[in-house]
Structure 1
Amino acid sequence: MKNVMLLAMLFVAAFAQAQVNVTGVVTNKTTGRPVTGATVTIQNFGTHTDNNGRYYLRLRDAGTYPLMVSFIGYTTYLYPTSFTTGDNTINVSLEETGLFVKPVEISSLRAGATAPFTKSSLSAEDIKKQNLGQDLPMLLNQLPGVVTNSDAGAGIGYTNFRVRGSDVTRVNITVNGIPINDAESQGVFFVNMPDFASSVNSIQLQRGVGTSTNGAGAFGASLNLSTNTFNDKAYAEVDNSYGSFNSWKHTVKAGTGLLNDHFTVDARLSKITSDGYIDRATSDLQSFYTSAAYIAKKTAVRLNVFGGKEKTYQAWNGIDSATLADNRRYNSSGTEKPGEPYDNETDNYQQTHYQLSLNQGITDNLNFNVALHLTRGKGYYESYYGDDSYTEFGLPNPVVNGTEITETDMVRQLWLDNYFYGGVFSINHSMKKFNWSLGGGWNKYDGDHYGKIIWAQNGGIDKDHKWYDLDATKTDVNVYWKGEYSPIEKLSVFADMQYRHVGYDINGFRKRPNVEQHNKYNFFNPKVGVTYHVNNFQYAYASFAIGNKEPNRDDFEAGTTQTPEHETLRNLEAGYVYTSQRVGLQANVYYMNYKNQLVLTGKINDVGAYTRSNIPESYRLGLELQGSVKLGSYVDVAANIALSRNKIKDFTEYIDDYDNGGQKEVNHGETDISFSPDVTGGYTFTVKPVKGLNIDLLGKYVSRQYLDNTSIKRRSLDGYYVQDVRINYLVPQKLVKELGLQLMLNNVFNKMYVPNGYTFSYIEGGQLITGNGYLPMAGFNVMGGVHIGF
Structure 2
Amino acid sequence: MQKLLISAVFISTVISAFGQQTDFEKQQDSTKIEALDEVLLKTVRVSADSPITHSNMDKQEIEKRNLGQELPYMLNYMPSVVTTSDAGAGVGYAYIRVRGSDASRVNVTLNGMPYNDSESQVTVWVNLPDLTSSVQSLQLQRGVGTSTNGSGAFGASLNIMTEGVSEKARGQISNSFGSYNTRKHNVEFSTGLLSDHFEVSGRLSRIKSDGYIDRANSDLKSYFLQAAFVDKNTFIKALAFGGRQETYQAWNGLEDPEKLENDRTFNVSGMYTDEDGNIQFYDNEVDNYGQDIYQLIWNQRIDNNWNTNVSLNYTKGLGYFEQYKENQKFANYGLEPIVLGGETINKTDLIRRRWLDNNFYAASGNVNYKDSSWDISSGVFYSYYEGEHYGEIIWARYASNSEIRDRYYDGDAHKTEFTVFSKATFQLSDSWSVYGDLQGRFINYKTSGITSDLVEMDLDKKYTFFNPKAGLTYKLNLTNQFYFSYGKAHREPTRADFREDITTAEKLDDFELGWRFGSENFKLNSNVYYMDYRDQLVLSGELGDTGKPLRMSSGKSYRLGLEVDAEIRILDNLRTLPNISLSSNKNVDFVASIDGALANLGNTDISFSPSVVAGNMLEYSPTKKLQLAFLSKFVGEQFMGNTDSKASKLDSYFVNDFNIVYTLENLPWIKEIAFSALVNNIFNVKYISNGYYYTYDDDYSNPGTVTTIEGAGYFPQATINFLVGATIKF
Show the counterpart of 1:746. Answer: 680
Q: Per the alignment, in what secondary structure is the counterpart of residue 347 of structure 1? A: strand
Q: Following the alignment from structure 2 to structure 1, what is the Cα–Cα distance between the partners of residues 591 and 31?
A: 57
Q: Following the alignment from structure 2 to structure 1, what is the Cα–Cα distance between the partners of residues 262 and 541?
A: 29
The letter for the 1-side match of 2:351 is V
Q: Per the alignment, in what secondary structure is the counterpart of residue 106 of structure 1? A: helix
Q: Does residue 1:269 correspond to 2:204, yes or no?
A: yes
Contact 1:603 1:653 in 2 (8 A): no
Shift of 1:771: 1.2
Matches within 5 A, 1:226-305: 226-305=161-240
Q: Does residue 1:717 correspond to 2:643, yes or no?
A: no
Show the counterpart of 1:51. Answer: 25
Per-residue CA distance 1:292-331 (angstroms, 9 max, x = gap): 0111211111101000100000001011133211211000
Contact 1:717 1:756 in 2 (8 A): yes
Q: 2:472 aligns with which of 530, 555, 571?
A: 530
Q: Does residue 1:499 correspond to 2:443, yes or no?
A: no
Per-residue CA distance 1:166-208 (angstroms, 9 max, x = gap): 0010011000000010000000100001100100010100000
The letter for the 1-side match of 2:407 is K
Show the counterpart of 2:519. Answer: 580
Of 212-221 and 400-409, the range deviating more from structure 2: 400-409
Of 532-541 and 310-319, the range deviating more from structure 2: 532-541
Q: Does residue 1:357 correspond to 2:297, yes or no?
A: yes
Q: Following the alignment from structure 1 to structure 2, what is the Cα–Cα distance between the partners of residues 244 and 615?
A: 41
Show the counterpart of 1:696. Answer: 629
CA-atom RMSD, angstroms? 2.2
Contact 1:601 1:654 in 2 (8 A): no
Contact 2:665 2:671 in 1 (8 A): no
Q: Following the alignment from structure 1 to structure 2, what is the Cα–Cα distance between the partners of residues 528 and 156?
A: 39
Shift of 1:50: 6.3
The letter for the 2-side match of 1:175 is L
Contact 2:31 2:47 in 1 (8 A): no
The letter for the 1-side match of 2:530 is Y
Of 198-207 and 682-691, the range deviating more from structure 2: 682-691
Shift of 1:712: 1.8
Contact 2:171 2:189 in 1 (8 A): yes
Q: Following the alignment from structure 1 to structure 2, what is the Cα–Cα distance between the partners of residues 455 and 182?
A: 30
Residues 575 and 602 from structure 1, CA distance in 2 versus in 1: closer, same or farther, beyond 3 angstroms? closer
Q: Per the alignment, in what secondary structure is the counterpart of residue 272 of structure 2? A: coil
The letter for the 1-side match of 2:689 is P
Per-residue CA distance 1:564-593 (angstroms, 9 max, x = gap): 210000000010112234221111000000
Show the counterpart of 2:553. Answer: 614
Q: Does residue 1:334 correspond to 2:261, yes or no?
A: no
Contact 2:246 2:286 in 1 (8 A): yes
Q: Does residue 1:163 correspond to 2:103, yes or no?
A: no
Q: Following the alignment from structure 2 to structure 1, what is the Cα–Cα distance between the partners of residues 455 and 621?
A: 62
Shift of 1:223: 0.1
Q: 2:313 aligns with which of 373, 395, 410?
A: 373
Contact 1:564 1:613 in 2 (8 A): no
Q: Following the alignment from structure 2 to structure 1, what is the Cα–Cα distance between the partners of residues 549 and 662?
A: 52
Contact 1:121 1:205 in 2 (8 A): yes
Show the counterpart of 1:388. Answer: 328
Contact 2:109 2:115 in 1 (8 A): yes
Q: Does residue 1:455 correspond to 2:395, yes or no?
A: yes
Show the counterpart of 2:610. Answer: 677
The letter for the 1-side match of 2:682 is V
Q: Following the alignment from structure 1 to structure 2, what is the Cα–Cα distance between the partners of residues 733 and 529?
A: 49
Q: Does residue 1:759 correspond to 2:655, yes or no?
A: no
Identity %: 43
TM-score w.r.t. length of structure 2: 0.92
Matches within 5 A, 1:182-197: 182-197=117-132
Q: Following the alignment from structure 1 to structure 2, what is the Cα–Cα distance between the partners of residues 50 and 313?
A: 50
Contact 2:51 2:484 in 1 (8 A): yes
Matches within 5 A, 1:433-452: 433-452=373-392
Per-residue CA distance 1:327-377 (angstroms, 9 max, x = gap): 110000110252420000000000000001110010111101001110000
Contact 2:409 2:454 in 1 (8 A): no
The letter for the 1-side match of 2:272 is E
Q: Following the alignment from structure 1 to structure 2, what is the Cα–Cα distance between the partners of residues 488 and 142?
A: 36
Q: Following the alignment from structure 2 to structure 1, what is the Cα–Cα distance between the partners of residues 107 and 333?
A: 37
**Gaps in structure 1 of 5+ consecutive residues:** 1-24, 26-48, 56-68, 74-99, 658-662
Show the counterpart of 2:510. Answer: 571
Q: 1:776 aligns with which of 693, 710, 716?
A: 716
- The one of the two structures with greater contact order (alpha-carbon pairs below 8 A, sep at least 6) is 2
Shift of 1:103: 1.6
Shift of 1:538: 2.7
Q: Does residue 1:687 correspond to 2:624, yes or no?
A: no
Q: Does residue 1:309 correspond to 2:219, yes or no?
A: no
TM-score w.r.t. length of structure 1: 0.85
Show the counterpart of 1:554. Answer: 496
Q: Following the alignment from structure 1 to structure 2, what is the Cα–Cα distance between the partners of residues 229 and 243?
A: 29
Contact 2:384 2:414 in 1 (8 A): yes
CA radius of gyration, larger in: 1
Q: Per the alignment, in what secondary structure is the counterpart of residue 51 of structure 1? A: helix
Q: 1:129 aligns with which of 46, 57, 64?
A: 64
Q: Per the alignment, in what secondary structure is the counterpart of residue 328 of structure 1? A: coil
Per-residue CA distance 1:384-428 (angstroms, 9 max, x = gap): 001111122111112334433211110000000000002011111
